[in-house]
Amino acid sequence: MGHNYGYLLRVDLTSSKIEKELIDAAFAQKYYGGRGFTSRLQYDLIPKEVDPLGPENALIFSPGALTGAPMLSSGRYVVGGRSPLTGILGDANGGGVFGAVLRRAGYGLLIIFGQADHPVFLRIDDDEVEICDATNLWGMDVYDTTDAIRSQCGRGYSVAAIGPAGENLVRIAGIMSEKHHAAARTGLGAVMGSKRLKAIAARSKQSFPLYDPSTFKKLAEELAVLEDNDARAQDFHRRGTLGTLMDHHQALGGLNTRNYQFGQFEGKEKIDNEALKSGFYLRSTGCYRCTLTCDQYCKIEEGEYAGVEVGGPEYSTAAAFGSGLGNDNLAAILKANDLANRYGLDTIDLGGVIALAMELYQRGIISQSEADGLDLSWGNHRAVMELIEKIAYRKGFGNILANGVKRAAEDIGRNAIRYAVQVKGMTPAPLDARAVKVYNFRYAVAPRGADHLRISAPGGYALDKLPLSEAAEKLHYWQSIIAIPDLMGVCKFAYTYYTETIERTLHKVLTLIPGLYSAATGNQISGEDLIEAGVMVTNIERAHNVRLGLTAKDDTLPPRFTEDVMPDGPAKGKVYDILEPMKEAWYVASGWDPVTGIPRRRTLENLGLADIAEDLEKNGIQLT
C-alpha cells in the first residue's frame, strides 16, 4: 500500500465552515499536485458565469507532489482561480517556505470558497485550523501584516498575505509569502481581497511523509551532487536571474526598453548585476532547501531612497522598473520593488501598465493633468513611486491603471490599445518577441496570457533556424518537460533552466524526479508518465479557456511586435512575421484543430479526459 497524498482542506468563508478529507488517491495519481490539481479543479469548479471577484470564484492553493520533501529546491506551490486580470485560467507560482510548511502540515490542497463578512485570516497549525478576525490587519502592508500575525500567533508561522492592492481589488495584485516571495501573476491577490481573506498563516512540526526513506535519501543526494558540480547552476548561484539574463537580452537586441519601443537600453550598465553587486548587494537568499540561492537581498545605504531593504530585484523586475521605463536609477528600481512587495503587486504587470502610461504621455495621448499632474516622461522615477501608490490604493489616475494594461488602454480610448503590449490582458516578460521569434511565440499561446514560464526550451534562441513544424514539435515536447516542476512543486531554475546540458536536465526530470516521487509515495511512475501528465494538464488548461470563451483569435501578439519594425540594435529591421504559420504548426503539434485551436476529441480521450470532451460539447463547443 502506498502513502497518503495529504488532506484536502475546504474552507467556506461565507458560512465559516472548515472541512478536511483525505485527497483521493486516484485523483492524486492522475494529476500529481501543484498545477495539476489547480488546473483540473479550475475546470471542475469554475464555469463560465463565475465572476473572478465574486464569492463563487474558488481560490485553490496546492503544493506540488514533492513540495516540502527533504530534497533540493522543493519549495514551490501553485495558487489558482479565475483571473480578475484576464478573465481566463488564473494561476501563480510561489516560492519561499509557505508551500513546504502547508504540505508538511498535511495539506496537499486548500480550496477557499465564499466571502467573509469582515476581514479574516486563516491559521493552520498542523491539525488545528481556524478562521481568525483580521479587522486590525486590514489596511496594513504585507510586511506589517506578516509581523503582526507572527506576533499574535507565535513563532514559526509562514505567512502568505495580500497588501492594500489586493484589498482594493487591483487586478494586478499578487500574494506575498515571507514578505519577498510573490505568487504574483494573473491578479489572484485581488481574489483574496474580494473574499476579505487577508492572509494564510501556516506552521508545522511534522516532516514530509516518505514511503521509502532510504531510496529517497540516496536519490536526493545524487541530485545535490549533480547541482554542486554543475557549472551553469553555480554561475546562476553567483549571478541570479539579473546577471544571467539582462546581459544576454541586451546583446540579442531584445531587452524591453521604453515599453518595447527599442531592444537595447543605453543605461543598462547602471542597472545590471555588476551595478547591483557593487552598490547595494548584501547577501544571497533562497527558497526552501535551495542551494542555488538566486535571490539577491539588497539594501540602499544613502540617497533619497536610503533605508530600503528588499529581496531582489530579479531580472524581470529590474527590467520592468528600469529599461522598460527608461529609468537608469538602480536605487529607484529597488525602491519600486520594495513598494510592490509591500502593497502586494505583480512587478511585471505593474511595470507594463506604467510603461504604457509613459508612452501615451510621450505621444500626447494623455496629458499631465489627466495623470494627476505627474510628469510621466521616461525615466522620471519619482513619478513612478507616486503612481505605484496611486495604483495600490486606486487613487485618481491610478484607478484606471489598477485594472492592468489592456483594460487601462480600453478605458483611456483614443487608440491607446495600439501601444498596450499584452496578450489576453497580461504583460510579457522583458524579452522582445521580434528578437527571438519562434521561442517567444509562447507569449501568444500560453494559457495564462503573455507568459514565459509555461512554454520554454533549452537552446530556444536557435529554434528560429528550424522549419516551423519541427520547431513547434520541439517546443511542444519541452512544454511538457517544463510542466513537470509545476506538478512536483520543485523549482524550474534548479531542475530545468540552469543545468549545464540537456542530457542532465532530462536525467533530473525524467529519471530522478520519478524515482523521488515513487520513493515518497509508493506509487511507481516513469518519466514517460510525467511527460504525458504535462501534456494532459496543458490540454485541461486549453479546454478550460475554450469553455470560458477563448478562441484562436486570442492567440495573438501585440501590434508592437507584429507591426513595428525594431528600429535599431542587433535585431534592427525585424518584425514578428510568423504568427499565423506558427499558430497552425503549434495547433497541429498539440493535437488541436489547426483552424480553431480547440483540442480534438481523440486528443482529449487519449489523455484520459473524455469527460472534458463531453462537457465541452455540452457547452456547445464543436470538437473535431
Distance between CA atoms of residues 473 and 459, nearest Å:
14
Mean pLDDT of 256-284: 95
- Output the pLDDT for position 4: 79
Q: Pinpoint the alpha helices (H) of 295-413.
A: 315-321, 330-343, 347-362, 381-392, 398-401, 404-412
Is residue 382 located within the same domain as residue 339? yes
Is residue 36 located within the same domain as residue 138? yes
CATH number for the domain spanning 384: value is: 1.10.569.10
Number of domains in the chain: 3
Q: Which of these ranges, 123-127, 308-312, 348-352, has the smallest mean pLDDT?
A: 308-312
- Output the pLDDT for position 446: 97
For residue 249, pLDDT beyond 70 = yes
Identity of the amino acid at 614:
E
Q: Is the dihedral of CA 145, 147, 152, 154 positive or negative?
A: positive
pLDDT category at 498 given cuts 50, 70, 90 is: confident
Mean pLDDT of 191-207: 98
In a domain, 624, yes or no: no
In a domain, 230, yes or no: no
- Residue with the three cell numbers 506538478: 487
Among the candidates 388, 419, 450, a domain finishes at: 419
Distance between CA atoms of residues 360 and 546, nearest Å:
33
- Residue with the three cell numbers 544613502: 302
Cβ(237)–Cβ(545) under 8 Å?
A: no
Average pLDDT, the chain: 95
- Residue with the three cell numbers 486570442: 554
Mean pLDDT of 55-70: 97
Is residue 268 located within the same domain as residue 397? yes
In a domain, 348, yes or no: yes
Is residue 317 located within the same domain as residue 402? yes
pLDDT in tens, 81-130: 999 999 999 999 999 999 999 999 999 999 999 999 999 999 999 999 99
In a domain, 125, yes or no: yes
Distance between CA atoms of residues 219 and 516, nearest Å:
6
pLDDT category at 3 given cuts 50, 70, 90 is: low
Among the candidates 203, 222, 245, a domain finishes at: 203
Identity of the amino acid at 426:
M
Cβ(541)–Cβ(86) under 8 Å?
A: no
Mean pLDDT of 420-442: 97
Cβ(557)–Cβ(444) under 8 Å?
A: yes
pLDDT in tens, 471-493: 999 999 999 999 999 999 998 87
For residue 2, pLDDT beyond 60 = no
Mean pLDDT of 436-462: 93
- Output the pLDDT for position 493: 78
- Output the pLDDT for position 1: 36
pLDDT in tens, 364-386: 999 999 999 999 999 999 999 99
Cβ(111)–Cβ(11) under 8 Å?
A: yes
Strand (E) or helix (H) holding 602: helix 601-606
3-class DSSP state of 108: strand
Q: Which of these ranges, 165-179, 196-210, 225-239, has the smallest mean pLDDT?
A: 225-239
Grid coordinates representing 379 are: 525615466
For residue 621, pLDDT beyond 90 = yes
Output b/e per residue, 272-281; b: 16+ Cβ within 10 A: bbebbbebbe
Supply the range of the domain harboring residue 354: 253-419
Is residue 455 located within the same domain as residue 576? yes
Q: What's the predicted TM-score (pTM) here? A: 0.97
pLDDT category at 239 given cuts 50, 70, 90 is: confident
Q: Which of these ranges, 279-288, 342-351, 535-544, 568-577, has the smallest mean pLDDT?
A: 279-288
Interior CA angle at 346 toward 343 and 348, to 5°?
135
In a domain, 239, yes or no: no
Among the candidates 419, 454, 480, a domain finishes at: 419
Cβ(105)–Cβ(126) under 8 Å?
A: yes
pLDDT in tens, 546-562: 999 999 999 999 999 99
pLDDT in tens, 146-177: 999 999 999 999 999 999 999 999 999 999 99
Mean pLDDT of 31-60: 97
Is residue 345 located within the same domain as residue 470? no
Mean pLDDT of 514-527: 97
In a domain, 521, yes or no: no
- Output the pLDDT for position 29: 97
pLDDT category at 241 given cuts 50, 70, 90 is: confident
Mean pLDDT of 55-84: 96
3-class DSSP state of 72: coil
Is residue 303 located within the same domain as residue 353? yes
Torsion angle of the four alpha carbons 542, 543, 546, 547, in this order, in degrees rounded to the nearest 10? -150
Grid coordinates representing 321 are: 522598473
Query: 471 vs 312, which has greater pLDDT?
Result: 471
Is residue 288 located within the same domain as residue 345? yes
3-class DSSP state of 582: helix
Is residue 180 located within the same domain as residue 77? yes
Is residue 115 located within the same domain as residue 181? yes
Is residue 149 located within the same domain as residue 196? yes
Mean pLDDT of 512-522: 97
In a domain, 353, yes or no: yes
pLDDT in tens, 38-51: 999 999 999 999 99
In a domain, 65, yes or no: yes
CATH number for the domain spanning 82: value is: 3.60.9.10
For residue 495, pLDDT beyond 90 = no
For residue 233, pLDDT beyond 80 = no
Is residue 79 located within the same domain as residue 187? yes
